[in-house]
Amino acid sequence: MTFRLPRRRLLATTVAGAAAFPLVAIRTRPANAAEFSYKYANNAPVTHPLAIRTSEAAARIKEKTGGRVEIKVFPNNQLGSDTDMLSQLRSGALEFFTLSGLILSTLVPVASINGVGFAFKDYDQVWPTMDGALGSLVRGEIAKRGLYAFAKMYDNGYREITSSTKPIKTPEDLSGFKIRVPASPLWTSMFKAFGASPTTINFNEVYSALQTHVVDGQENPLSLIDTAKLYEVQKYVAITNHMWDGFWFLANKHAFEAMPANLREIVEAEFNASAIAEREDLAKMNNTVAGTLKGKGLQFVATDPAAFRGVLKKAGFYEEWKGKFGAEAWGTLEKAVGNLA
């Protein structure tokens, strides 16, 4: 960010104090430069609706603020892994970032609650819940950690399990299966409950981890399996819909609050509007992506999700996470989706 008076003042004082050096010029902004020059980063391939719609929002923001706010977009892990980008966001090196609630849970534990296995029946349950009481509860916790979450989440999707070695047809097929999971205690716990052997790997390294057989499988929505070209290094996809995952649009609170209210309003409104558009893009894409992936040679495997859910139940997964999330958060989730444990 260019908006850092204290540091500039410190520099000026030090230099002026050290010697009568005539270069103590105050750095001024060229007439056409933005007042707030910020960065937004994500982990999505450039062809994924998340990358496309957030870029559009940044362009609208520049226009609607008359050039006062310029947000440079860095898609596709250009600034590093999710874990790296979260650190950058917290330190202020990065001002905006979209992150899966499950990964955010390494900082804000309750943020992984939407990932509880088989919690949401369908999108008619997802959006009212995440735009409603449960989303508010999570946003409240995010705010306690120096971050600010915009009102509308972006969709990632229902997740399916891909593999290179064998089809995953039943929960028993997961026994000892070497699967990549994102960096999140909930993911590791869930795949351990399935009897698999999960390894934490950030998304920027997933393609090569699959290619070199560090792991034999991974799980992601079909939209990402397509846009990240994971079908090139995987043979099968099991349609499990084992969890719904979405991205919080996060701001570094300090950087966001450095903007006057009228600019903050434009920024949030535009990223929220793009979130709605992105949800619709994915809904449309979900009608065609299976066909696309089949055409590319990925073999689809139908499963009985109830059997997978039964294994989680028997392993004590729901009881464990009910305890971890606590009565208030768990109750809010169950109010929306029905009894889970």
Residue 162 contacts ligand X2X per CB under 6 A: no
Q: Candidates 220, 227, 234, 303: give the one binding ligand X2X (CB under 6 A).
A: 220
For the bound state, the minimum distance from the C-beta of residue 279 to ligand X2X, rounded and expressed in Å, comes to 16
282-341 binders of ligand X2X (CB under 6 A): none
Q: Candidates 36, 39, 43, 274: give the one binding ligand X2X (CB under 6 A).
A: 43
274 vs 252: CA distance, rounded Å? 19
Closer of 112 and 252 to ligand X2X (Cβ) = 112
Q: Tokens at residue 76, please?
A: 């596709």
Residue 58 contacts ligand X2X per CB under 6 A: no
Closer of 198 and 258 to ligand X2X (Cβ) = 198
For the bound state, the minimum distance from the C-beta of residue 68 to ligand X2X, rounded and expressed in Å, comes to 31
Residue 234 contacts ligand X2X per CB under 6 A: no
Binding mask 80-99 for ligand X2X (x = CB under 6 A): --------------------
Q: Candidates 224, 230, 237, 282: give the one binding ligand X2X (CB under 6 A).
A: 224
How many residues touch ligand X2X under the rule CB under 6 A: the total is 9
Of the candidates 51, 42, 58, the residue with the CA atom closest to the CA atom of residue 227: 51
Q: Candidates 45, 49, 115, 182: give the one binding ligand X2X (CB under 6 A).
A: 182
For the bound state, the minimum distance from the C-beta of residue 287 to ligand X2X, rounded and expressed in Å, comes to 20
Apex 204 CA angle, 242 and 189, nearest 5: 35
Q: Candidates 100, 112, 234, 274: give the one binding ligand X2X (CB under 6 A).
A: 100
Closer of 111 and 301 to ligand X2X (Cβ) = 111
For the bound state, the minimum distance from the C-beta of residue 182 to ligand X2X, rounded and expressed in Å, comes to 4
Q: How many CA atoms lie within 13 A of 37 on its CB side?
A: 8
For the bound state, the minimum distance from the C-beta of residue 156 to ligand X2X, rounded and expressed in Å, comes to 5
Residue 156 contacts ligand X2X per CB under 6 A: yes
61 vs 259: CA distance, rounded Å? 13
184-189 long-range CB contacts below 8 Å, 24 or more apart?
A: 184/100, 184/102, 184/103, 184/105, 184/106, 184/112, 184/115, 185/105, 185/106, 185/112, 186/102, 186/105, 186/112, 186/115, 186/116, 186/321, 187/102, 187/115, 189/317, 189/320, 189/321
183-212 binders of ligand X2X (CB under 6 A): 203
Residue 245 contacts ligand X2X per CB under 6 A: yes
Sorted by sequence, the CB contacts under 8 Å of residue 79 that are 6+ apart come out as 39, 41, 85, 88, 94
Closer of 148 and 158 to ligand X2X (Cβ) = 158
Contact assessment for residue 166 and residue 246, using Cβ atoms and an 8 Å cutoff:
no
Binding mask 103-122 for ligand X2X (x = CB under 6 A): x-------------------
- Estimate to the nearest angstrom the gap between the alpha carbon of 107 and the chain centroid: 13
Beta pairing partners, 199: 180
Of the candidates 246, 102, 243, 234, the residue with the CA atom closest to the CA atom of residue 168: 234
Cα end-to-end distance, the chain, whole Å:
46
For the bound state, the minimum distance from the C-beta of residue 234 to ligand X2X, rounded and expressed in Å, comes to 13
The residue with tokens 């699967």 is: 179
Closer of 69 and 147 to ligand X2X (Cβ) = 147
Interface with ligand X2X by CB under 6 A: which residues? 43, 100, 103, 156, 182, 203, 220, 224, 245
